[in-house]
Chain A
Amino acid sequence: MARITASVYTSHIPAIGAALDLGKTHEPYWQPVFQGYEASKTWMQQHKPDVIFLVYNDHATAFDLDFIPTFAIGTAASYAPADEGWGPRPVPTVQGHPELAAHIAHSVIQQDFDLTIVNKMPVDHGLTVPLSLMCGQPPADHFAWPCPVIPFAVNVVQYPVPSGQRCFALGQAIRRAVESFDEDLNVHIWGTGGMSHQLQGPRAGLINKAFDNAFLDQLIADPAAAARIPHIDYVREAGSEGIELVMWLIARGAMADVAGGKPPRVAHRFYHVPASNTAVGHLILENA
């Protein structure tokens, strides 16, 4: 059967993608950010998944205000990197896993989560920046990501966004769905976005290191408590865009300990301020 072996959590700041694409990773401003992911790239090579289930949000790219799905799963064979106004990132086309994605969609909807199913969408920095951070730039002679990816887009742009509780329960449903897939597949689930940041208004630039680090602690040790954090606490403490952290709870809900298994092992933890407007947070948790 398929099983989830690890979860990865990371911010997905567009400026990180630009720094990578423009060769700025060794500049003093960016060097500490990328240094924090060196261990992650090594870990990825040692723990290569068959499929990545990647939870992210679209930033007015594939979805405008004509359609605002709360939870959207990609069941396509491939997804093109989007042009977000500065030209598409020079990264590989994302290959999907339609069989597993369709299976998860079917199972999760039967577990009372009303997903939107998407067969055509470009993917923006929310999805490609985490891939770049974890996998590095693929070589020119084998220009591809290391494995298929199932994009899972969450509305965190228009309020109300789904609650932490709902996201945490959804992660549990995704875990059950993956484990009911007959093929032996090693699946990672990634939760992206955050950490504290606010991109708008006179309060733009808000960073809250104390909140972020307490969130990381709680996400590791007591995710059910982290899931009870109400929206307003994210907005007030972590900035209006800090609400993206609810997406981390989807990945955390899919870990074995939530279903009665052993606590996960913390393979890597990293935190840095700033990257552009944002606090960078990153965790890798392995199922025991």
Chain B
Amino acid sequence: MALDKPYLDVPGTIIFDAEQSRKGYHLNQFCMSLMKAANRERFKADERAYLDEWPMTEEQKLAVLSRDLNRCMASGGNIYFLAKIGATDGKSFQQMAGSMTGMTEEEYRNMMIAGGRSVEGNRYVGEDGTAQAHRQPQGSAYAHPTAGH
């Protein structure tokens, strides 16, 4: 019998449940290893070699290498663990959260100062709010001509 997962129709959101946690175990434990300064140094010196020490999927490794946090989330990452990568890169939590929206840091910060993202249109998949798939990416973070998307 299927488990009760009523949150699957919330737009722009991946709930870190037991299933995601199972998929993301090694990815998240890799992130956790960055709590140690010596590991951060080894990771920064050769990211690919460090990742290859972990039994992660290729998709997870590529997601980390490209710092695509949405892709990390989709392959089982959890934001509190992924934040360790951000800390290694010298990023704040707001910079990390903003990076998942397609907004620049300034655009995201201004949205928060203006009261944050409205829930209107963002409760269910299929509405027309800013978090809906058909309205991505938001903002101009990827407007750079070489970004490719």
A pairs with B: yes
* Secondary structure type dominating chain A contacts: loop
Whether B17 contacts A236 by the Cβ 8 Å rule is no
Per the bound structure, the CA–CA distance linking A222 and B80 in Å amounts to: 32
Q: How far is the CB of B122 from chain A (nearest CB, A)?
A: 6
Contacts of B140 in A (CB 8 A): none
Is there contact, CB below 8 Å, between A159 and B93? no
- On chain A, the number of residues with a Cβ less than 8 Å from chain B's Cβ atoms is 43
Contacts of B113 in A (CB 8 A): 29, 274
Interface residue ranges of B1-57 to A (CB < 8 Å):
6-7, 10-18, 21, 24-25, 28-29, 31-32, 34-35
- Measured CB to CB, the nearest residue on chain A to B98 is A204
Q: Is A92 an interface residue (CB 8 A)?
A: no
Is A201's CB under 8 angstroms from B100's CB?
yes
- Among residues of A, the one whose C-beta sits closest to the C-beta of B99 is A204
Asked if residues B93 and A276 are in contact (CB atoms below 8 Å), the reply is: yes
- Cross-chain contact of A240 among B15, B117, B124 (Cβ < 8 A): B15
CB neighbors of B among A191-249 (8 A): 196, 198-209, 211, 231-232, 235-237, 240
Flag if B28 contacts A64 (CB, 8 Å). yes
Asked if residues B16 and A202 are in contact (CB atoms below 8 Å), the reply is: no
User: B147 in the interface, Cβ–Cβ < 8 Å?
Assistant: no
Smallest CB separation, A64 vs chain B (Å): 4
With contacts A59-B80, A200-B69 taken as known, whether A205 is within 8 angstroms of B116 at the C-beta atoms is yes
Q: Contacts A200-B69, A206-B117: A60 and B12 contacting too (C-beta < 8 A)?
A: no
Nearest chain A CB to B73's CB is how many angstroms away? 6
Cβ of A65 within 8 Å of any chain B Cβ, yes or no, is yes
Find chain A residues with CB under 8 A from B73 CB: 200-201
B119 A205 Cβ-Cβ under 8 A: no
Known contacts being A204-B100, A206-B122, A274-B112, is A235 close to B10, with CB within 8 Å? yes
Q: Is A260 an interface residue (CB 8 A)?
A: no
**What is the CA–CA distance of A207 and B18 in the complex, to the nearest angstrom?**
26
Q: Do B119 and A157 touch across chains, with their CB atoms under 8 A apart?
A: no
The answer to whether residues A202 and B7 also contact, given A59-B80, A65-B28, A207-B117 and a CB cut-off of 8 A, is no
Q: Which residues of B contact A273 (CB under 8 A)?
A: 112, 115-116
The tally of CB-CB contacts under 8 A between chains A and B is: 159
Selecting from A3-11, A82-90, A100-108, A166-174, the interface stretch reads A82-90
B119-138 interface bits toward A, Cβ cutoff 8 Å, 1 = contact, 0 = none: 10011100000111100111
Partner of A201, one of B13, B108, B111, B118: B13
- Give Cα distance in the complex from A282 to B88, angstroms: 32
**Which of B18, B25, B119, B138 contacts A208 (CB under 8 A)?**
B119
Instruction: Known A85-B34, A273-B116; judge A159-B10 contact (CB<8 A).
Output: no
Query: A15, A196, A202 — which one has the most chain B CB atoms within 10 A of its CB?
Result: A202
A200 to B94, CA, bound (A): 10
Chain B residues with CB under 8 A of A196: 116
Q: Is the CB of A60 within 8 A of B115?
A: no
Known contacts A204-B97, A277-B93: A60-B83 contact under CB 8 Å: yes
Instruction: Tell me if B79 counts as interface (CB < 8 A to partner A).
Output: yes
16 further contact pairs, Cβ within 8 A, besides A202-B131, A274-B116: A60-B84, A65-B28, A65-B81, A200-B14, A200-B69, A202-B70, A203-B11, A203-B13, A204-B101, A206-B117, A232-B7, A273-B115, A274-B113, A277-B93, A277-B94, A277-B97
* Chain A contact residues, CB within 8 Å of chain B: 14-15, 18, 29, 59-60, 64-66, 68, 83-86, 157-160, 196, 198-209, 211, 231-232, 235-237, 240, 273-274, 276-277, 279
